[in-house]
Amino acid sequence: MSAAAITSATPPAAPVRTAPPPVRAVRWALTRVEGRRLLRHPIFLLGMALSAVTLALMTGRLPFGALDYSATPSMLAGDCFVVVGGALWTFLAVFLAVTRDRRDDAQDFYLAQPTTARLRTEAALLSVAWAGMAGAVLIALGTLLLVGLDGALVTDVVNGPIVDENQRYEVQVLELFQGPLYLVLAGTVGVLLGSWTRHVYAAVFGALVLFLPPVALLPWLVFDEGIGHGYFGAIEAAADVGGSAPIASQLLGLAAVAAAAATAALARHDRRLVVLVIAALSVAVLVLGLPAGPEATLPGQPPPTTP
Partner 1 sequence: MSGQPQRLALIARTLAWPALIGGAALCFAIIVLTSLDVDSSPHTRWPGLGALALCLGAAFVLDDPASATTDASPTSLAKRRMLRIALTLPLLGAVWAGSLYYATTADGAPLGPDARGALSIQASAMLATTLGASAAALRLMPGEASGWAAVVVPFALLVCAYYLPQRWALLATPAEPGWQAAQQRWVLLLAVGVLALIWASRDPAARSRAGGVRAATSLRH
Partner 2 sequence: MSRTIEMSELRKRYGANDVVAGVSLDVGVGVTGLLGPNGAGKTTLMRMLATVLAPTGGHLRILGRDLDDAEQRTDVRRQLGYMPQEPGFHRHFTVFEFVDYVAILKEMTDTHARHREVRRVLERVDLGDVAGRRIRKLSGGMRKRVAMAQALLGDPRLLVLDEPASALDPEQRMRFRELISELGDGRIVLVSTHQTDDVAALCQRVIVLRDGHAAFDGTPAQLSALARDRVWIADTRDDRAQLSWRTAEGRHRHVGDPPLGARLVSPTIEDGYLLLAGPAAIGKELAA
Q: Which residues bind to partner 1, rule: CB under 8 A?
A: 46, 50, 57, 64-66, 84, 88, 96, 199-202, 204-205, 208-209, 212, 214-215, 226-230
Spatial CA neighbour of 160 closest among 87, 59, 262, 253? 59
> For partner 2, which is the closer residue by CB, 7 or 306?
7
Spatial CA neighbour of 234 closest among 161, 187, 292, 301? 292
Q: Could you tell me the smallest distance in angstroms from the CB atom of residue 221 to partner 2?
A: 34
Q: Could you tell me the smallest distance in angstroms from the CB atom of residue 191 to partner 2?
A: 17
User: Which of partner 2, partner 1, none has residue 274 at its interface (CB below 5 to 8 Å by kind)?
Assistant: none
Q: Could you tell me the smallest distance in angstroms from the CB atom of residue 126 to partner 2?
A: 14
Residue 253 contacts residue 289 (beta carbons within 8 Å): no
301 exposure class (CB count in 10 Å sphere: 0-12, 13-18, 19+): exposed
Distance CA 134, CA 181 (A): 11
User: Which of partner 1, partner 2, none has residue 40 at its interface (CB below 5 to 8 Å by kind)?
Assistant: none
Q: Could you tell me the smallest distance in angstroms from the CB atom of residue 31 to partner 2?
A: 10
Q: Which of 62, 66, 106, 227 binds partner 2 (CB under 8 A)?
A: 106
Q: Which of 4, 6, 149, 173 binds partner 2 (CB under 8 A)?
A: 6
Q: Tell me if 109 contacts partner 2 by CB under 8 A.
A: yes
Q: Could you tell me the smallest distance in angstroms from the CB atom of residue 106 to partner 1?
A: 15
Q: Which of 4, 112, 149, 173 binds partner 2 (CB under 8 A)?
A: 112
Residue 153 contacts residue 167 (beta carbons within 8 Å): yes
Own/partner contacts of 141-144, CB < 8 Å, gap of 24 or more, are 142/52, 142/55, 142/75, 142/76, 142/80, 143/76, 143/171, 143/176
Q: Tell me if 115 contacts partner 2 by CB under 8 A.
A: yes
> For partner 1, which is the closer residue by CB, 39 or 217?
217
Q: Could you tell me the smallest distance in angstroms from the CB atom of residue 6 to partner 2?
A: 6
Q: Which of 114, 160, 228, 302 binds partner 2 (CB under 8 A)?
A: 114
Distance CA 91, CA 5 (A): 50
Contacts with 141 (C-beta within 8 Å, 6 or more apart), sequence order? none
Q: Could you tell me the smallest distance in angstroms from the CB atom of residue 105 to partner 1?
A: 11
User: Which of partner 2, partner 1, none has residue 212 at its interface (CB below 5 to 8 Å by kind)?
Assistant: partner 1
The site map against partner 2 for 7-46 (x = CB under 8 A) is xx--xx-xx-x--xx---xx-xxx--x-------------
Helices (runs of H) and strands (runs of E) counted in the chain: 14, 2
Residue 188 contacts residue 266 (beta carbons within 8 Å): no
Residue 81 contacts residue 182 (beta carbons within 8 Å): yes
Spatial CA neighbour of 190 closest among 299, 34, 18? 34
Give the binding site for partner 2 (CB under 8 A): 1, 6-8, 11-12, 14-15, 17, 20-21, 25-26, 28-30, 33, 100, 104-116, 120
